[in-house]
Structure formats: structure tokens, C-alpha cells
Structure 1
Amino acid sequence: MTPGTDHLAYAPQSVPHPGETLQETLDELGIPQADLARRTGLSTKHINQVIRGTAALSPDTALRLERATGVPAGFWNSLEAAYRTQEIREEEDQKLAQRVDWLSNFPLAELVRLQVLPSREKSLDNLLRLLQWFGVTEPDVAEDLWRSYRTAFRRSTVLSADDYATATWLRLAEHRARDRATQPYDKAALTALLPRLRALTLEDQRVWAEELPQMCATAGVAVVFAPALPKTRVSGATRWLTPDKVMVALSDRFKKDDQFWFSFFHELGHVLLHGKRLTFMDDSDNLSSAHGHEDPAEDEANGFAANTLIPPSHAADYQQLRAKPMPFTRIEVFAHAIGIAPGIVVGRLQHDGALQWKHGHDLKRTVTLT
């Protein structure tokens, strides 16, 4: 069952107003409306309005009915609350029915595949499901929220097609992260894990895909994998879900291990170096720019990732390799010597301009997330 949408399967389509139940109760007890009015101290007109549903059944009236009929006040209050809630729901649904085309902004096929929506139909039911999955009340509220994200990321506040897909990716990651159990965040514990996390670059995906989240969870980091969606450029994201739990979400946008592992350690750089109140969503520009960013936090996270994967203690050896990266066995020897996957070294050499982008891809391993 998709988180946050299961209630839609049993939400009542209509709720009778409390007056109907009150009239049935009076009929069973053999109490005329005029007699009930005398017993409760209310006017016959008011009792009649409550029964017809034109007057609200207030808590005061509920208490009087309890004393006069023996039916608990809480029961009457519940009936009234359910009826008024349904009235408001119907009014809101009528408004939202005019916004079903909003669904066209989203990767509906992916949402169906991910079991967020049951179909690609542009219907009120699907719109309600999507809004609840995002945890927002209406489309305009969602878009205002995403505009605030763009401001935080130093981007234009004008939403484009990829923003809807990116918001979908981020929300999917959040749901997965909230479901992942973690210990309270411990910066020292996470720092101590770095060598072991770095060593996972040598493992096959079937190994690191299981061990990476488990290891990070012991330090309060919920690592989740979310496949890259069409029209998204996002490689990773960091968001503090609570003061003791941080999400690190990773995509498979580039499908190669060098980009994946650089993204992972880039996000850990945000976790270790930057504030708990900040959210970072990183795309290819953040991860690959050779120039300074408007937000220095991105440069700091890039530096952290680069120095973790190829430590400064190996800088001299790396510079020799950079000067003469071929034949490719030189790359493999260097990678083995410092204990990381060769594909990561290839990616670093390509980024530094020492190796053409078309060279060395056989040393990279494919990453595919689900």
C-alpha cells in the first residue's frame, strides 16, 4: 500500500447529518420533538433545525441530548464532526476537480510503476492520492513549497517541467528514508565509518547496496536509493528529517560507479560539514563544476568527496598518473594501491582533463537502482 493514500480506499462517499440519527433515536424512544425540546430546554424550532440538518449540533446540545436520551454526548459530537468534515470535503473536491490537469506535469507512468498511483488516469481520485503522497493540501500549496526549495538552491523560482519530476524523486526518497530505522545521529561514529564506506567501492553492487545503508544507519544516516526519473538531473540529496536522523538519497542518473560514489561522499560532506537545518539537492552542475559555486557549501562538499576518495596523502602519485594515465593498467595499479575502484580514478582523471571522456569506460561499473 502506498504511504499516505490507503485511507482513500475506505473514505465514505456520503455521511448522513446527525439529525437523521436523532430522529431515529426519538422514534425508538417514543419522544416527540416538542417533548425533547422541553426535556433539553431548547426551542422546538431549534430541535427541528437540528433534525433537518440546517442547524449544527453543538457540544452544548450534545450534552443536553445525552441527559435527555441516554445516548453519550461523544456519539453526537462524532456524528456532527463527521458530517461537517464531509461537507467541507465535498466542497474541496469540487474545487480540486477543476485541477486534475495538474497531473499532466508528473511522470505518471513512473508513479504507477512505483505504486504511488493505481493508473495514469487524470482523475480526482488520483489527484487526491498524489496530494496526500506529497503531504500537501492542494496544487498551489505544493508549487509554493517547491519554489521555496528553488530559492534555497539559488535557482530561478519559475517552475519548469523537471521540477515536478525532481519533487517526485525527492518525495519518494523521503518516504523510503522515514521508513528506514536508524540510530541517533552521531558525527564521530559517521566519521569513523569513512574508511569502511570507502572500501565498499571495491565491492559489487549486490554487496554495497545492502551494506552501505546498514552501516550508515548505525550513525543516524538513512541512506536510500531512488532511481533517476525522466527529466531529472538530480544525483543526490541531503535532508535532515529530525535532529537525530538525516536522509542521504542517491540516484543512478549517470549509471556509473564513479559518479555514484562521488555523489555519495559529496552528500556525506554536507552531513558532516553543514548545518542540520539545511537541505541540499545536488545535480550534475553541483558535482562537476570546475569553477566556484555561488553556494560555497557545494565546493566544500566536492572537496570532501574528492579528498575522501583520493586522499591528499596520495596526491603526488596521482599527479604522476595524471601526467601519464595510459596504458590503463597504470590506472588499475594506482586504484589497487590506494584501495578504491578503478572506475573512480577514471572519473577523476576525466574530470581533471587528463583523460578524454570516451576513454576508460570499461573500467567503470554500471549502477542501476530500483
Structure 2
Amino acid sequence: MTPGADPTAYAPQTVPSPGETLKETLEVLGIGQADLARRTGLSTKHINQVVQGTAPLSPETALLLERATGVPAGMWNALEATWRTQVVQEQEERDLAGQTGWLDHFPLDALVDRHVLPDRTTTVANLRRLLDFFAVATPRVAEGLWDGNRTAFRRSTVTTRDEYATVTWLRLAERDAHDIKCAPYDRNDLTALLPRLRDLTLDEPQTWFTELPRLCAQAGVAVVFVPALPRTSISGATRWLSPDKVMVALSDRFKRDDQFWFSVFHEIAHVLLHGKRLTFLDDSDKLTSSDASVDASEAEANDFAALTLIPAQHAAAYRQLQARPTPFTRIEAFAASAGIATGIVVGRLQHDGSLPWSQGHRYKRPVTFP
């Protein structure tokens, strides 16, 4: 290979067709096609078709040729396999050359940044890389697969900003999740882990990105952090990778700890409460259980997250805080007594309409993925 050449680009094989090699072998041996037919018991027509490349050279024919020519059957089989692969690759090259426009649907900058593609060019080589990334054979197969998957997706909104960016984000998350080693999923272990996860809200954000995946992996949950892509609105997703391993993927879409931790427990709710056959994509503008358009599973996940962050034993104190949230020392005191980050309480008060959205943002810590 030429230094610097693209290893995925198709380059025609230099090996001759088995028919060409057979023709040359017969010339060297001084055997005609009719004579070879008599020696092998095959018809002259069939020998000629093999020489012309219009008939495949089968393993049975290869064995007969070994006896008649002395050339091992394994070599004839290898020549046939290599030649037929080359023919298929040449046909695929022609087919894919007319489909490179499919690349234009995808967030190419993000794919380059994640080293899926080397550049933004709409070439056959990049189309092959994209198909490898999605583990599909052709663009048509991919589209059909995604159409079928939509029936297994549960979403917090009916539509999304860009389906291609969405499937790209989800695939990036799946690849990262597959690399995480997890214990077999155990519902009791995950439930027992909830208080420890809630305690993490008090730690520094850089701790979250190591401790959250480490702890959840012990219960069979692969937690991954995938930065939000342009033209998507996903805050999180839940997908079972196998009966014993579930992926919880989180984006940095909202950039603040209150929404981040709500998304964490919202996705965990899907794991604990809902079926293994569905993929949950949470792509609403604001996670809320009061929106009548949210389906039952999303509303249930919202309620679970809200109650995990501010449990029932703190409900009375929280109602008092709602009635009089300022001065902010009151919010800080409630957060300390509840054992939760102040920014999460601020976000909850804003969501419940007890605090203007313009106030309290300094208590919310920024979320920036490593």
C-alpha cells in the first residue's frame, strides 16, 4: 500500500481470474479445453465457461482440476474466492458511488471530531466508514432499520429536530456503552444505589463523570456521556443492549446540574420501571410531569426523578420554601437539610413557578463533559 493511502478505499485486486489462470495453465501443459473436459469428465462447454469467467469454479471442479493439472485444489478455490470478491467489490463501488449524497444528511463535523470520519468529503470511502459505524450494509438497509426501530422508540416528544443527528448521537452512545464492563443487571442493586447517587450531587462535577459510571456498572448499567449534537434536542436515552446490560446515555444539552441530575434519575426510572424492549429518547424542551402531552412512562419517570431528588420526607419543608423562597439563604438551608445541591433546589423552584427563571442561576453548577 502506498504510504498515506486510505486503507478503507477499494483498490482492485491484482490476482487474475481463475479462468485466466486456467487458460495459461493449459497452454503451459499443452492441454486443450476439449482434452481437459475428457480428463475431468466435465463438458467442454462448462470448461469454456470457467475459462471465460461466466461459470463459477466450484470446490468440486477445483478437485477435478487438481487431478488433471497438478495444481492444488486449494489454489483454485482461493483464486475463485478472491476473484468473486473483487467482482462484488467493483459492483459495490459502482452502487455506492451513486449514494454518497446520503452523507449530507449527517452531522459530519461531529463525526470528524469523534474520529468516525477523517474529513467531511462525500466520498465512497467515507460512505463505507459511515456504514461501518452504524454496522449496516447499505444506506437503504439503514433507513429501513431506523424506520422499524421507530416503533420500538418511546419519546418525550412526537418529533425531533433532525432524525439523522439523533441516530448518530444514539449510535455514538451505544459504541461507548459497549466498551464499559458491567456486572449483570440487578434491579435490587440499582435501587440500593439510589441514595449514593443522590449524594453525588454534592460532589464536584468532575467527580460525577468517574463515579456515576463506576457505581452504576456494578448494577449492570453502562452510563455514558455524549455531548449534544447540533440539530438535536436529546437530554438522555435508555436502551437495553442485552438482557443483562442497559445503557443510560446523557447529553450536556442543558449545561447545568439541576437538569443533568434530573435526567440521570429520569433515565434510571426507565430502567427500573419500564420494559426492556423499548428505547427511551428524552428530547423535550423541559422535563415536566405536568404536560398532558407526555405519555404515561415519561410522566412516571419525571415523578420518580422529582421524588428521588426531593423525597417525600422533605415535602412539607419544600412547600414552606415554595411559599417564601427568598432570601436565598432559605434555599441554601433547605438544600443542606435535604442533603442535595442548592442548584437542584433552585431549578425545582423555578420549574414549579415559585422562583423566576431569571433568579438563582449562580447556584447552578455548569456541566461540561470531559
Determine if the TM-score, normalized by the shorter chain, exceeds 0.5: yes
In the TM superposition, residue 145 of structure 1 has moved relative to its aligned partner by 2.9
Alpha-carbon distance change, 66 to 265 in structure 1, aligned in 2, over 3 angstroms? farther
1:261-276 aligned within 5 A: 261-276=261-276
In the TM superposition, residue 80 of structure 1 has moved relative to its aligned partner by 2.3
The answer to whether the 8 Å contact 1:177/1:224 transfers is yes
CA distance in 2, matches of 1:160, 1:320: 38
Q: Which amino acid aligns with 1:13?
A: P
CA distance in 2, matches of 1:92, 1:368: 42
What is residue 43 of structure 1 aligned with on the other side?
43
CA distance in 1, matches of 2:259, 2:193: 20
| Cα RMSD (Å) | 2.5
In the TM superposition, residue 293 of structure 1 has moved relative to its aligned partner by 4.1
In the TM superposition, residue 112 of structure 1 has moved relative to its aligned partner by 0.6
1:219-368 aligned within 5 A: 219-285=219-285, 287-288=287-288, 290-368=290-368
Instruction: Determine if the alignment matches structure 1 residue 13 to structure 2 residue 3.
Output: no
The answer to whether the 8 Å contact 1:234/1:253 transfers is yes
In the TM superposition, residue 162 of structure 1 has moved relative to its aligned partner by 1.2
1:138-153 aligned within 5 A: 138-153=138-153
CA distance in 2, matches of 1:160, 1:330: 39
Q: Which amino acid aligns with 1:50?
A: V
1:28-177 aligned within 5 A: 33-69=33-69, 71-153=71-153, 162-177=162-177
**Residue 288 of structure 1 aligns to a residue in which SS?**
coil
User: How big is each residue's C-alpha offset from its partner over 1:210-247, in whole Å with a ceiling of 9 and x where there is no partner?
Assistant: 11111111111111110000010001011111111111
CA distance in 1, matches of 2:325, 2:159: 43
User: How big is each residue's C-alpha offset from its partner over 1:155-205, in whole Å with a ceiling of 9 and x where there is no partner?
Assistant: 7xx987611111110000011111111111111111111111111111112
Alpha-carbon distance change, 228 to 46 in structure 1, aligned in 2, over 3 angstroms? same
What is residue 4 of structure 1 aligned with on the other side?
none
CA distance in 2, matches of 1:138, 1:349: 49
Q: Which amino acid aligns with 1:309?
A: L
Q: Which amino acid aligns with 2:125?
A: D
CA distance in 2, matches of 1:226, 1:176: 9
Q: Which amino acid aligns with 2:358?
A: K
TM-score by length of 1: 0.90
In the TM superposition, residue 86 of structure 1 has moved relative to its aligned partner by 2.8
The answer to whether the 8 Å contact 2:185/2:244 transfers is yes
Q: Which amino acid aligns with 2:49?
A: Q
What is residue 211 of structure 1 aligned with on the other side?
211
CA distance in 1, matches of 2:194, 2:70: 67
The answer to whether the 8 Å contact 2:184/2:219 transfers is yes
The answer to whether the 8 Å contact 1:222/1:246 transfers is yes
**Residue 91 of structure 1 aligns to a residue in which SS?**
helix
Q: Which 5+ residue runs of structure 2 have no aligned equivalent?
A: 1-5
Alpha-carbon distance change, 310 to 30 in structure 1, aligned in 2, over 3 angstroms? farther
**Residue 235 of structure 2 aligns to a residue in which SS?**
strand
The answer to whether the 8 Å contact 2:154/2:278 transfers is no
In the TM superposition, residue 104 of structure 1 has moved relative to its aligned partner by 1.3
Alpha-carbon distance change, 86 to 295 in structure 1, aligned in 2, over 3 angstroms? farther
My pick for the range that moved more, 275-284 or 233-242, is 275-284
What is residue 3 of structure 1 aligned with on the other side?
none
**Residue 117 of structure 2 aligns to a residue in which SS?**
coil
TM-score by length of 2: 0.90
User: How big is each residue's C-alpha offset from its partner over 1:71-130, in whole Å with a ceiling of 9 and x where there is no partner?
Assistant: 554543343233223323322332221221221111111111110101101111111111
The answer to whether the 8 Å contact 2:153/2:278 transfers is no
The answer to whether the 8 Å contact 1:293/1:299 transfers is no
Alpha-carbon distance change, 226 to 77 in structure 1, aligned in 2, over 3 angstroms? same
Alpha-carbon distance change, 150 to 54 in structure 1, aligned in 2, over 3 angstroms? closer
In the TM superposition, residue 33 of structure 1 has moved relative to its aligned partner by 4.2
The answer to whether the 8 Å contact 1:335/1:345 transfers is yes
Count of aligned positions: 363
The answer to whether the 8 Å contact 2:287/2:302 transfers is yes
What is residue 3 of structure 2 aligned with on the other side?
none
CA distance in 2, matches of 1:90, 1:314: 68
Q: Which amino acid aligns with 1:123?
A: T
My pick for the range that moved more, 307-316 or 45-54, is 45-54
User: How big is each residue's C-alpha offset from its partner over 1:26-65, in whole Å with a ceiling of 9 and x where there is no partner?
Assistant: 5676765444333321133322321331211123212323
